[in-house]
Structure 1
Amino acid sequence: MRKEVMGSHDYVQTLKGQKLRFPDFDHLLRTWPRGMSPHYEALKKIHEEELPQLLGPGSKRLEAAIAAEFSLNAATWWPTSSFDAVRFASYLVAWLYVWDNETDSPEFNQDVCLNLEAGEKFRAETREHIKAYLDDGNWGRYRQRPRTEKISSALASFNPVGEPAAFRMTSGQRVLFLRQLLRFVQATAYEQRSELSGVAPTIDEYLPTRMGTSGVETISACIEYMVNIDLGDCLRADPDIQTIYAENNCIISMMNDVFSLRRELRLAVLYHEYQDLQPAMGQIYEIVKASVSRLDSAAERLLERYPDRRGDLEAFITGAKTMCTGNIQWSIRNKRYNLGFSKCDGTAEIVI
């Protein structure tokens, strides 16, 4: 049954004062690899220098970007990747955050957020900008056109992502990356329609859209590039590879809904059903637990069926898993979420 949306302010008032205990995600992922990139400090300095130029010194956009700590995100998600790859990943995450803020945060762009027609125009411009880098049919035109056009910071923030992807990814990797980028952009349209309708989505409606708007699939599409392998089109299309992509997306997206609760209140969809955050948190944990099991099973099947590709597959699987364990580290430590605890071991609590 649908329930009326009360709006963000009313949600805050309804949830205010509730104590929430976080699940034991550390134990759930205890056997999965984790680490910290040795390039973290260098990457952090680069962001400190370049983000003000991209987003404007002293701007709200810059303030939000600094709090999200993109360099820490990339360093924890990709602990063994090269400097160039980690830098690429950090700018991809930066673009996802900056661009998404333009479409769902009125404090950054009220005209786009509160007007579906303006949102659709912005998404159309975004698709064209992305395709100019990654669509093989457009790439030649991009290289020849003058690079003096005036574009918004949200679009310009894709440039440090598009250029290395265009030059360094294989054709098959670019196709996958482009497809997931376009899916992310389209998913935000569904989300915007839902927000502007004034009606809360059901859980069944929410989850598929959330899997697109989280941006995780967009990042997962770069696993091969990040760990310096090329699975090839046939292996890339294998059902178990697709399972790893899907479960990886579910694990991180659901965890993010938990960790970002104070900031984004996405758990309110489950709250509508249970009228209590703790059961909603338990439901999220069960969803993540099932996804972890399915990902592990798919990984085992792949290694059994393709012994001749074991090295590449192990790198791919490890990359998917460090995204998940890194997400816990980054979420606990970044200033955007401001959680105030150092472990997610089943004892950590916050008050909303």
Structure 2
Amino acid sequence: MGVELGIIEGFFGRPYSWEERAGMVRALAPAGYGFYLYAPKADAYLRRRWREPHPSEEMAALAQFAGVCRGAGVRFGVGLSPYELFLDFDGAAKDALGEKLAAFDALGLDDLGVFFDDMKGDLPDLAARQVEIVHWIAERSAASRLIVAPSYYTDDPVLDRVFGARPDGYLDDLGAGLDPAIQIMWTGEEVCSREYSPGHLARVAGILRRKPFLWDNYPVNDGPRMSLRLHLRAFTGRPAAIGDHLAGHAVNTASQAVLSRVPCLTLAESYRAGEAYGYAAAFRAAAIEVLGADFAHAVETNLGWLQDVGLGGFDDARREALRTRFAAFDHPAAREIIDWLGGGYAITGEELQTQ
């Protein structure tokens, strides 16, 4: 395939169940998905309450999931977002962080993500502070791979508007300061990039002094606007040639775990087929594999309503017609569509502020 594929559960809103995570690992491992990073924004013990230990039942579930990953030959990882740690990396913070790392090590962690994304970052010495934290973690974590998400993980100026203007030379300083063995994540020219080119990725690699580890925000559909749509179509804009310019390719999946398998399978096919890739045929084959032929046909014929128009664009009559159509299928993905039609996956701006 040329590049390591994997899943990052890194979205806002309702996280997956443990059964859904296990199902995704088992379904996608045969297609070449070799790692799973557990990092839902809704897990407060990874983010705003990171200083507190996870409840024992959650740690037990994580340990069991780690076993599922190992059984499927998939690397197990956790993404820790130590919220605003770089504002005060003192003795108390180090003690709490050390305890968190020890708990993760007990799980048999393969990958540890240190994520500084989606928090205020307009500090002149931000890169130096983060380098210090990451190297401190690297000396204490037993994970065999460390992956950092920068505060400014894209060229997209939306981050500067929301989290403050990025410090001058931030990415260059971060790349120069971090040990070359540590991976750095990147979402592309936008937060949700439409496409990636070898030229763009080569430029970013020069800044970071290493190949970027891609955090691909498709088919993710969190947020007040995106949660109104189901991202089901096949991957496009990811030519196989980008694989040579990447350290890894992580897919941030949609809130619907089973439906997400459809586009994920098409990405694997895109890398496999190279220039022979056809996105429509890839979608059809993946949908049949995940959903079965009849259900796949129903989804394909309604893609315009599900992905393009979305919940805000049709009336109650259309909503009921879609509900009736998909209720005919006894399948977990059909239940995801019905739940979505009823607003079960809607995300408010308030949720984004509190997760």
TM-score for both structures, normalised by structure 1? 0.29
RCO higher in 1 or 2 (8 Å CA, sep ≥ 6)? Answer: 1
Quick check: which one's strand share is greater?
2
Quick check: which one's helix share is greater?
1
TM-score for both structures, normalised by structure 2? 0.28
